[in-house]
Amino acid sequence: MAKTIAVAGKGGTGKTTLVSLIVDYLVQKKQGPILAIDADPDSNLGTLLGFKKVKTVGELRDEVLKEMKDFPAGMTKASYMEAGLHEIIEEADGFDLLTMGRGEGPGCYCYLNNLIRKFSEDLTPSYKWVVIDNEAGLEHINRRTSSNVDILMVVVNNNPISINTARSVDQITKSLKNKIYKKYLVTNQIKEGRKEVIQQLAEETGMEYVCDIPSDDILEETIFNGGSLRGLDSPAKEGIFSLMEKIGG
Ligand SMILES: Nc1ncnc2c1ncn2[C@@H]1O[C@H](COP(=O)(O)OP(=O)(O)O)[C@@H](O)[C@H]1O
Ligand SMILES: [Mg+2]
Cβ–Cβ < 8 Å for 180, 152:
yes
103 pLDDT exceeds 90? no
User: 70 alpha carbon to ligand 1 midpoint, in Å?
Assistant: 43
Distances (CA, A) of 154 to 132, 169, 183: 12, 8, 8
* CB-based contact 134:176 (threshold 8 Å): no
As a whole number, the mean pLDDT across the chain is 91
The model's pTM is 0.94
Ligand nearest to the CA of 14: 1
* Ligand 2 mean position, distance from CA 43 (Å): 7
126-146: buried (b, 16+ CB within 10 Å) or exposed (e) per residue? ebebbbbbbbbebebbebbee
Q: Which atom of ligand 1 is nearest to the CA of 13?
A: 22
Domain ranges of the chain: 3-247
Q: What percent of the chain has pLDDT over 70?
A: 97
Nearest CA to ligand 1 atom 15: 14
In words, the CATH class of domain 3-247 is: alpha beta
Structure confidence by residue, pLDDT tens digits, 181-197 = 999 999 999 999 999 99
Alpha helices in 29-160 (DSSP H): 45-48, 57-67, 77-88, 110-123, 139-143
Contact 173, 152 (CB under 8 A): yes
Judged by DSSP in three states, 132 sits in strand
- CA 153 vs. chain centroid, Å, equals 10
pLDDT at 109: 67
Decide which of 57 and 109 is more confident.
57
Beta bridge partners of 131: 5, 36
